[in-house]
Amino acid sequence: MGCDTLFSCLVYAASKDLEIHQLDAVAAYPNSNLTEEIYLSLPDGIPSTPGKVWRLKKALYGLKQAGLEWYCTLWTHIRLLGYAQSGHNPCLYTFDSERFLVIYVDNLLLFSPKSQLAQVKSELAGKYEMHDLGEARWFLAMEITRDWVAQTISIDQRQYIRKILGCFGLDKVQPVSTPMATNLKLPKMESPSVNQQLYQSMLGSLMYVVIRTRPNIMFAIHYLSQHSIAPGEQDLNTMKCVYHYLNRTPDLRLLFYRNQLNCDLVGFSDSDWAGDPNTQRLVSGYAFLFCGAVIAWSAKKQLTIALSSTKVEYMAMTHSGKEAFFLNHLFSDLEIPFKFPISLLVDNQSAITLAENPIFHTCSKHIKVHHHWMHEKTGDGTIQLEYVPMADQVADIFTKLLNSEKFRKFHDALGLIQINAC
């Protein structure tokens, strides 16, 4: 389940004054009937007839099929209650514009008016035992804070960040102002010269932070992940620098304002050009802002080498446009009001012109056909391309290393706020 879906649901629920509560399914997997024949030997200490085995009728934790069987079981139960599964995110179920569910394995977030909350809980727990955890405060290691007076809802991972800092013995290190030094170039190693398991463990811990609540370190993690097979001493020291930065800013949170629901959903699309010194491939990135903070972000290395800055930005727009297309359908499923078409801000006017009028000529004939998908989406009114100066291109933070001034500017634009500053 992506954060774009979760954050959209939280913001919309806050704007409609809906209750946000959490349920936890008790012993989820054993509630599922197995559709395949699976046998097991009896554990030691249990009397058995020689040559006999047991056939499993219920799913057990550890079985490869268990997760899918539970998903199908819960899916059937929820559908019988009248909920419709979203065609664009299988973790989202809607009953109407004021009652919907977000599900992650055995964790359920339910959104409902207060007057119908008890009924919704009773229906969901009618067939399978559920722990009622009350108002949602913790979900997937994220802390959800709702301020009814200030009309805001915020998400952070400060406890998780402090936990991983302590786990790697970096909770007392000297803090730094940016995750990585400007103009840093890390060479590719043929074989690891440091503890590979330690490096990958530190990287994996950071990945869970960056995909949930800390988009400002996305490019750093994207860059460091390319050295996970054969990390060197410089790679490990750079990784520790990211932890130094987190030690300085553990209390940052994404802050959404419910009274900005009618504001536009705005996307930023950007790319570097041959920024990777090892492969010369471009890195494209995007950010989509809604209700004061970012709800979707990405940094991705493209599969091909670009021959011009126009192609670089054109390819990045395709990457960003797919997310805009998804958000369009997601908002429609939830009946979230938003301005149509979705604005996508790009800092290259030649790329905008090419997307709006992809004339076949020597400058564009080498571009793969699937990138011309953007022309279709601008033509049918789904996406509207707009020019933004490079100095205001928020997605810059996902495609390259920035100095502390620019980093702080775009970091603020993403809606990251210090908790004790609010």
Q: Are 6 and 92 in contact (CB under 8 A)?
A: no
pLDDT tens-digit profile of 154-189?
999 999 999 999 999 999 888 899 999 888 888 888
What counts of helices (H) and strands (E) characterise the chain? 11, 18
Identity of the amino acid at 75: W
Q: Are 301 and 270 in contact (CB under 8 A)?
A: no
- pLDDT class of 211 with cuts at 50, 70, 90: very high
Q: Which fold is adopted by the domain 262-388? A: Nucleotidyltransferase; domain 5 (3.30.420)
- pLDDT class of 274 with cuts at 50, 70, 90: low
Buried b (16+ CB within 10 A) or exposed e, 317-347: bbbbbebbbbbbebbebbebebeebbbbbbb
- pLDDT class of 317 with cuts at 50, 70, 90: confident
CA distances to 197, 286, 345 from 395, in Å? 32, 5, 9
Task: Name the DSSP letter for residue 294.
Answer: E
CA distances to 63, 224, 297, 349, 395 from 401, in Å? 43, 12, 16, 23, 12
Mean pLDDT along residues 244-273? 88
Mean pLDDT along residues 43-63? 85
- Gap between the Cα atoms of 88 and 326, Å rounded: 7
Mean pLDDT along residues 100-112? 94
Q: Is the pTM of this model over 0.85?
A: yes
Sign of the CA dihedral with 244 first, then 248, 253, and 254 last = negative
pLDDT tens-digit profile of 295-310?
999 998 876 666 667 7
- Gap between the Cα atoms of 84 and 184, Å rounded: 49
- pLDDT class of 355 with cuts at 50, 70, 90: confident
- pLDDT class of 282 with cuts at 50, 70, 90: confident
DSSP string over 15-65: HTT-EEEEEEETT-GGGSBPSS--EEPPPTTS---TT--EEP-B--TT-TT
Give the whole-number percent of the chain exceeding pLDDT 70.
92
pLDDT tens-digit profile of 134-155?
999 999 999 999 998 888 999 9
Residue 416 pLDDT exceeds 90: yes
- Gap between the Cα atoms of 99 and 214, Å rounded: 29
The residue ranges of every structural domain in the chain are 3-138, 141-260+410-422, 262-388
- What is the CB-side half-sphere exposure of residue 56 using CA atoms within 13 A? 22
- Gap between the Cα atoms of 268 and 286, Å rounded: 5
Q: Degrees (nearest 5) of the Cα angle 94, 97, 102? A: 35
At 307 the pLDDT is 63
At 340 the pLDDT is 79
3-state class (DSSP) for residue 100: strand
Task: Please state, rounded to an integer, the average pLDDT across all residues of the chain.
Answer: 88
CA distances to 249, 308, 418, 420 from 151, in Å? 24, 46, 17, 17
- Gap between the Cα atoms of 367 and 372, Å rounded: 8
Q: Which of 240, 277, 376 is nearest to 317 (CA)?
A: 376
State both tokens at 87.
């065609």
Q: Degrees (nearest 5) of the Cα angle 140, 202, 168? A: 95
Burial of 390 per CB tally in 10 Å (0-12, 13-18, 19+): exposed
At 168 the pLDDT is 95
- pLDDT class of 120 with cuts at 50, 70, 90: very high
